[in-house]
């Protein structure tokens, strides 16, 4: 058989593409995923990391709310190592209309979300960082989710089941015969090598870029690119997700995750051609800090680590200029019935929280086209790292781990941690102190997780994501990468690129402590390392 032939080709290595690849592989299909950059480089790696309970959408978008709570419960079972069951609060402040709380709780009840009004005093006890002036609080089953881990686990599982992945490979066109798609033209963005791949069905899971990819195939999918800006704070101020109990607005969600917390977001329509180079403006930083401090006053005195922005893949509604009111619902398009184009499917819209359901819908459609009659099992089959483990069991494993690095790695890798080889005592040394990442975890990422640069490594292990932002760990990781790839020549270029990426997020918040730290980093790299 021609190695370029598959049953299904999935375009886009965000969480939806990764989930679809896994589902296809689990149903026995020979699947290929094509991603032009690395995993989770689109919206999937540029979000809050909130595992929605659905409460945020209950009033305005009940269908999405119901999807979110159903998936929230499923992901807690199948992806325990990616999720922290923090719980969430929706708080009302003196300037808010407290009567909205009842509308909100009633809408949650209808969507099947367990929302409970609690005494503000109890809310302060449960989450000491919350604004002490709050006049109302509702407890909901929100949680935090690590999107990088989720994406990587889906890809790893699919690969273990025989699926193939081509990273840094861009789809440049479609192989079309009359009214049927037969495959795709691709180009490796590093080597420039062009390759064609063939399959009877191609799935467009390119998020907001799904519009231009659909255009290449000759059909129209109208996207509404909605930019959202976020800030990461240097430590966890809160342990529960804190939301504002009002109509969704700017900077009204604060999510704790790993060692940090994230405030967001804004919502601004941007041109499609700008989606790959979004940056955060000074006005957005000011707004996020000012509004964020209303949820948790401590934010105004907490060091900001970096700013970043992502683009939501909302499906177009020209009547809503902000995008806040567009449904977060899932859009699964069969272009054969919609446009008369056979062998092409688009899956878009939705949320990180509903990625599995989106993947199931797309795979159901693929299977019906291929005449494959196999039911979806992703709702009950745990991802690698969560096999046979509830969150409580994982928490116990973390607690019992012999060192802090082992604890941190167990939290990141889940049950897979025991399979990772630790070859020597040097393997136990730390590469990244902020995130406690040992050498053996970094080497595992090189060997098993498709890492080809320091920036990829960050997405798999959190190296460089912590308080020093790569100041001390990046050069150590560069040394290990050069050794793994047997290519010392690339070490310097890769290091500069990595620090350049870190700088992009430091620049918009460059004042006070953050500016001092950035200056110090520059001195280390310039005067100690000569870069
Ligand atoms: C600011 C913000 C905050 C959010 N917060 C949350 C949250 O807290 N909780 C939640 O549940 N959801 C949240 N979301 C929504 C969620 O992030 C997205 O719905 C989800 O990640 C979309 O995943 P995706 O796989 O469809 O798209 P993406 O992750 O964007 O993936 C698309 C991929 O396609 C690739 N691609 C594009 N063109 C090509 C090509 N020609 N060839 C090959 N590959 C290509 C891109 O490189 C990209 O990796 C947020 C979104 C944003 C922007």
d(CA 510, CA 507): 5
CA atoms 460, 44, 258, 418: torsion sign: negative
Residue identified by tokens 């449960």 is: 126
Between the CA of 42 and the centroid of ligand 1 the distance, in Å, is: 5
Nearest-CA residue for ligand 1 atom 32 is 206
* Residues 15, 39 contacting (CB under 8 angstroms): no
Ligand 1 atom index nearest CA of 37: 47
**How confident is the model at residue 530, as a pLDDT?**
87
| Average pLDDT of the segment spanning 391-418 | 90
- Helix axes 439-448 and 473-485, enclosed angle (nearest 10): 40
Domains delineated in the chain: 8-43+148-221+328-370 (3.50.50.60), 82-144+224-315 (3.30.9.10), 420-528 (no CATH)
Q: Is 43 in the pocket of ligand 1 (CB under 6 A)?
A: yes
**How confident is the model at residue 529, as a pLDDT?**
85
| Average pLDDT of the segment spanning 342-370 | 98
Between the CA of 102 and the centroid of ligand 1 the distance, in Å, is: 33
**How confident is the model at residue 324, as a pLDDT?**
59
Q: Is 19 in the pocket of ligand 1 (CB under 6 A)?
A: no
Between the CA of 437 and the centroid of ligand 1 the distance, in Å, is: 26
Q: Is 34 in the pocket of ligand 1 (CB under 6 A)?
A: yes
Q: What is the CA radius of gyration of the chain?
A: 23
Q: Is 52 in the pocket of ligand 1 (CB under 6 A)?
A: yes
Q: Is 207 in the pocket of ligand 1 (CB under 6 A)?
A: yes
| Average pLDDT of the segment spanning 478-501 | 86
What is the number of other CB atoms lying within 10 angstroms of the CB of residue 378? 22
Between the CA of 312 and the centroid of ligand 1 the distance, in Å, is: 7
**How confident is the model at residue 320, as a pLDDT?**
55
Look at residue 189 and give its three-state secondary structure: coil
Per residue in 186-203, pLDDT (tens digit) is 999 999 999 999 999 999
| Average pLDDT of the segment spanning 278-294 | 96
pLDDT band at 514 (very low <50, low <70, confident <90, very high): confident
Between the CA of 47 and the centroid of ligand 1 the distance, in Å, is: 8
| Average pLDDT of the segment spanning 426-453 | 93
What residues does 184 pair with on adjacent strands?
Answer: 174, 197
* Residues 414, 441 contacting (CB under 8 angstroms): no
Q: Is 36 in the pocket of ligand 1 (CB under 6 A)?
A: yes
What is the number of other CB atoms lying within 10 angstroms of the CB of residue 254? 30
HSE (side-chain half, CA atoms, 13 Å) at 446: 19
Please tell me whether the peptide bond between 331 and the residue prior to it is cis, using omega within 30 degrees of 0: no
Question: What are the contacts of 296-302 at 24+ separation with CB within 8 A?
Answer: 296/129, 296/130, 296/131, 296/237, 296/238, 296/242, 296/254, 297/131, 297/132, 298/129, 298/237, 299/233, 299/237, 299/254, 299/263, 302/233, 302/234, 302/235, 302/237
Judge residue 444's burial from the number of C-beta atoms within 10 Å of its C-beta, 0-12 exposed, 13-18 middle, 19 or more buried. Answer: buried
Between the CA of 351 and the centroid of ligand 1 the distance, in Å, is: 8
Ligand 1 atom index nearest CA of 309: 1
Q: Is 272 in the pocket of ligand 1 (CB under 6 A)?
A: no
Compute the mean pLDDT over every residue in the chain, rounded to the nearest whole number. Answer: 94
From 189, 307, 351, 359, mutation site for ligand 1 pocket: most ligand atoms within 8 A of C-beta = 351
Nearest-CA residue for ligand 1 atom 35 is 12
pLDDT band at 326 (very low <50, low <70, confident <90, very high): low
Q: Is 275 in the pocket of ligand 1 (CB under 6 A)?
A: no
- Of 120-124, 213-217, 236-240, 490-494, the range with the lowest mean pLDDT is 490-494
| End-to-end Cα, the chain, rounded Å | 49
DSSP string, 306-355: EEEEEEEEEEP-TT-SSSTTS---EEEEEHHHHHS-BTEEEEEES-STTH
- Of 52-56, 161-165, 255-259, 324-328, the range with the lowest mean pLDDT is 324-328
Strands (E), 401-520: 430-432, 437-438
d(CA 366, CA 8): 8
How far, CA to CA in Å, does 17 sit from each of 68, 346, 387, 531? Answer: 18, 11, 22, 37
HSE (side-chain half, CA atoms, 13 Å) at 407: 11
| Average pLDDT of the segment spanning 62-83 | 97
- Of 76-90, 202-216, 517-531, the range with the lowest mean pLDDT is 517-531
- Residue 179 pLDDT greater than 60, yes or no: yes
d(CA 152, CA 449): 7
Nearest-CA residue for ligand 1 atom 10 is 352
Between the CA of 257 and the centroid of ligand 1 the distance, in Å, is: 19
d(CA 393, CA 395): 5
CA atoms 245, 269, 234, 69: torsion sign: positive
Q: Is 525 in the pocket of ligand 1 (CB under 6 A)?
A: no
Bigger pLDDT: 197 vs 316: 197
pTM of the model: 0.96
Ligand 1 atom index nearest CA of 227: 53
């Amino acid at each position: 058989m021609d190695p370029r032939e598959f049953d299904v080709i999935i375009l886009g290595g965000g969480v939806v593409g990764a989930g679809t690849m896994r589902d296809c592989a689990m149903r026995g299909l020979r699947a290929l995923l094509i991603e032009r950059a690395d995993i989770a480089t689109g919206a999937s790696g540029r979000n809050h990391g909130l595992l929605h309970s659905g409460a945020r959408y209950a009033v305005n978008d009940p269908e999405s709310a119901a999807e979110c709570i159903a998936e929230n419960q499923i992901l807690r079972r199948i992806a325990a190592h990616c999720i922290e069951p923090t719980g969430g609060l929706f708080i009302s402040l003196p300037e808010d209309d407290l009567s909205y709380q009842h509308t909100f709780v009633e809408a949650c009840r209808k969507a099947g979300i367990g929302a409970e009004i609690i005494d503000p005093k109890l809310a302060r006890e449960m989450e000491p960082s919350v604004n002490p002036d709050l006049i109302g609080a509702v407890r909901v089953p929100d949680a935090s989710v690590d999107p990088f881990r989720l994406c990587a686990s889906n890809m790893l599982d699919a690969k273990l089941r025989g699926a193939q992945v081509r990273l840094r490979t861009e789809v440049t066109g479609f192989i079309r015969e009359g009214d049927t798609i037969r495959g795709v033209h691709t180009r490796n963005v590093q080597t420039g090598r062009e390759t064609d791949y063939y399959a009877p069905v191609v799935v467009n899971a390119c998020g907001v870029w799904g519009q231009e990819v659909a255009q290449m195939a000759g059909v129209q999918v109208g996207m509404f690119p909605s930019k959202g800006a976020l800030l990461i704070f240097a430590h966890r101020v809160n342990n529960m997700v804190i939301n504002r109990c009002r109509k969704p607005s700017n900077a009204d969600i604060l999510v704790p995750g790993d060692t940090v917390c994230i405030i967001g977001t804004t919502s601004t329509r941007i041109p499609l051609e700008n989606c790959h180079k979004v940056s955060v403006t000074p006005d957005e930083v000011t707004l996020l800090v000012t509004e964020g401090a209303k949820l948790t006053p401590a934010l105004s005195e907490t060091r900001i680590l970096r700013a970043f922005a992502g683009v939501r893949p909302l499906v177009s509604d020209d009547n809503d200029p902000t995008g806040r009111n567009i449904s977060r619902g899932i859009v699964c398009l069969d272009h054969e019935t919609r446009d008369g184009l056979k062998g092409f499917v688009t899956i878009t819209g939705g949320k990180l929280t509903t990625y599995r359901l989106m993947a199931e819908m797309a795979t159901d459609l693929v299977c019906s086209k291929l005449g494959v009659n196999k039911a979806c099992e992703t709702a009950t089959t745990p991802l690698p790292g969560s096999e046979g483990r509830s969150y409580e069991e994982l928490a116990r494993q973390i607690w019992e781990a012999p060192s802090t690095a082992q604890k941190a790695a167990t939290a990141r890798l889940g049950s897979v941690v025991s399979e990772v080889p630790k070859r020597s005592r040097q393997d136990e040394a730390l590469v990244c102190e902020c995130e406690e990442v040992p050498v053996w975890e970094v080497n595992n990422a090189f060997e098993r997780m498709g890492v080809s640069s320091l920036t990829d490594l960050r997405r798999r292990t959190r190296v460089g994501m912590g308080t020093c932002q790569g100041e001390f760990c990046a050069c150590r990781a560069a040394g290990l990468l050069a050794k793994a790839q047997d290519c010392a020549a690339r070490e310097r270029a890769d290091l500069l690129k990595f620090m350049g990426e870190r700088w992009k997020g430091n620049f918009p918040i460059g004042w006070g402590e953050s500016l001092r730290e950035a200056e110090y980093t520059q001195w280390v790299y310039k005067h100690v390392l000569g870069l």
